[in-house]
Amino acid sequence: MSFKTILAVATDEAQLTETLTQATAMAGALDAHLDVLCIGVDRTQTGYYYAGMNAAVLQETLHQAREDASGLAKAAKEKLNLTDLRWGVTEAVCQLADVARFVASHARFADLTVVPRPYGDDRGIELEPVVEGALFEGQSPVIVLPDGGTELKLPEKVAIGWNESAEALRAIRSAMPFLTAANKVHIVVIDPPKHGPNRSDPGGLLSQFLARHGANVEIDVLSKSMPRVSDVMRRHVTDINADMVVMGAYGHSRFREAILGGATRNMLETCEVPVFMAH
């Protein structure tokens, strides 16, 4: 598999430049077509009645969403006109409740979706359904970008979060073009089961699998020396100076992750390098 169609999703002008910078660099390195989806989000909730709200107010929120989409598309085209990429820009308006479905309808025909980090004080509430729409309904691998990251074309050093789950294996298979092109791939195993079938060689079968594809693999077995697995993983990513993390998304239910937190959410909140996920 190769990445020939990359989808970048923009809903806020504050994150547009960073998202496009990363997406254009990656599309150029992969010789891929870049599609940019610019969404103006109408945040009124269909089916609810707001006291004192009339048709004029509803029309104004829709007009603002159209203005947002138009502004995003104009800025995206100005930046992309300066490149020699094959690209396209789509502007659209959708209701907040329909963001995930709308993104999924585009992501399902992309090899890779690039989105900004969904969590943070300055993040709109639509960014979380953007990620989930691409991952779950669109069945597309997703790269979530950190804040203020350096331009990334192809990662030279990749860290894989390996817990033998189906989600992690799906992410690894999806990330194969990056893994085979990297100078080094670290399989990171944190507190492997003492009585599991692979206890004597944690990560060994995955290492063999990747090596046969031409990846230069190293296995890092770590103890859970911090309260959260994501903290151990993030510290190791910094220690080895990795350019990208590959991991499965949402091993627990998304509701539990949202309420209690989990490895996926914690990594997306704190990781300082792009996170490649699939489910």
pLDDT band at 259 (very low <50, low <70, confident <90, very high): very low
**Pairing mode, if any, of strands 142-145 and 275-278?**
antiparallel
Counting every residue written for the chain, the total comes to: 279
**Pairing mode, if any, of strands 157-161 and 244-248?**
parallel
- C-alpha 64: how far from chain center: 27
pLDDT value at position 256? 44
pLDDT digit string, tens, across residues 200-247: 688 999 999 999 999 999 999 999 888 888 899 999 999 999 999 999
Mean pLDDT of the chain, nearest integer: 88
Considering the domain 157-278 in this protein, what is its CATH number? 3.40.50.620
Percentage of the chain lying above the pLDDT 70 cut: 87
Gap between the Cα atoms of 269 and 258, Å rounded: 12
Gap between the Cα atoms of 274 and 256, Å rounded: 24
| Spans of all domains in the chain | 5-145, 157-278
Asked if 191 and 164 touch (Cβ cutoff 8 Å), the reply is: no
Question: Any bridge partners for residue 189, and if so which?
Answer: 221
Neighbouring residues of 63: CB distance < 8 A, sequence distance ≥ 6: none
Decide if 5-145 and 157-278 have a common fold.
Answer: yes
Architecture of the structural domain at 5-145: 3-Layer(aba) Sandwich (3.40)
